[in-house]
Amino acid sequence: MKRLNGGGEIKAKNQLGIIGLGKMGGNLALQAAEKDIDVVGKARSIKPELEKKGVKVVDNYDSFVSFLKHPRVIYLSLPAGPTVDAVLYELVPSLERGDVVMDGGNSFYLDSIEREGRLRGKGIYFLDCGTSGGLEGARHGACFMVGGRNGGIKMAEPILKGLAVPGGYLHTGKPGSGHFAKLVHNGIEFGMLQSIGEGVALLRASSFDLDLQEVFKNWSNGSVIRGWLVELMEKGLREEGIESIEGYVEDTGEVNWLLQDAINKEVPIPVISQSVMELFKSRMHESDAYKSIALMRHGFGGHPFGKDDRIIKERKTSRIKKI
**Most distant CA atoms of the chain, gap in Å:** 67
Number of other CB atoms surrounding residue 121 within 10 Å = 8
Q: Is residue 232 part of a domain?
A: yes
Q: How would you label 254-263 residue by residue, b for 16+ Cβ within 10 Å and e otherwise?
A: bbbbbbebbe
Q: What single string gives the DSSP state of each residue in 25-39?
A: HHHHHHHHHHTTEEE
Helix then strand then coil, % of the chain, to nearest 5: 50, 15, 35
How much is the mean pLDDT over the chain?
A: 90
Domain limit, last residue, from 145, 175, 205: 175
Q: pLDDT tens across 98-121, in order?
A: 999 999 999 999 999 999 999 999
195 and 167 fall within a common domain: no
Indicate which CATH number applies to the domain containing 215. 1.10.1040.10
Which helix (H) or strand (E) segment holds residue 133: the answer is none
Q: Is residue 100 part of a domain?
A: yes
**CB-based burial of residue 308 (10 Å sphere; 0-12 exposed, 13-18 middle, 19+ buried)?**
middle
182 is catalytic: yes
pTM: 0.85
Q: Is residue 15 part of a domain?
A: yes
The CA R_g of the chain, rounded to the nearest whole Å, is 20
CA dist 289 and 295 (Å) reads 10
Whether 22 shows a pLDDT value over 60: the answer reads yes
Share of the chain above pLDDT 70, in %: 90
114 and 191 fall within a common domain: no
Catalytic residue among 35, 161, 182, 291: 182
170 and 187 fall within a common domain: no
Catalytic residue among 116, 189, 231, 250: 189
Q: Give yes or no for a contact between 23 and 50, defined as CB atoms under 8 angstroms apart.
A: no
Q: pLDDT tens across 73-96, in order?
A: 999 999 999 999 999 999 999 999
Whether 129 shows a pLDDT value over 90: the answer reads yes
pLDDT of residue 294: 83
Q: pLDDT tens across 190-210, in order?
A: 999 999 999 999 999 999 999
170 and 207 fall within a common domain: no
Q: Is residue 322 part of a domain?
A: no
pLDDT of residue 12: 41
CA dist 60 and 82 (Å) reads 19
**Among 321, 295, 173, residue whose Cα is nearest residue 243:** 295
CA dist 247 and 198 (Å) reads 13
pLDDT of residue 1: 39
Share of the chain above pLDDT 90, in %: 73
112 and 253 fall within a common domain: no
Q: Is residue 101 part of a domain?
A: yes
154 is catalytic: no
Count up the domains in the chain and report the number: 2
160 and 192 fall within a common domain: no
148 and 193 fall within a common domain: no
Q: What's the residue count for the chain?
A: 323
117 and 206 fall within a common domain: no
Q: What 8-state DSSP symbol labels residue 267?
A: -
Q: pLDDT tens across 25-52, in order?
A: 999 999 999 999 999 999 988 888 999 9
CA dist 99 and 43 (Å) reads 20
84 and 37 fall within a common domain: yes
Domain limit, last residue, from 146, 175, 204: 175
pLDDT of residue 314: 66
Which helix (H) or strand (E) segment holds residue 106: the answer is none
Residues spanned by the domain of 105: 2-175
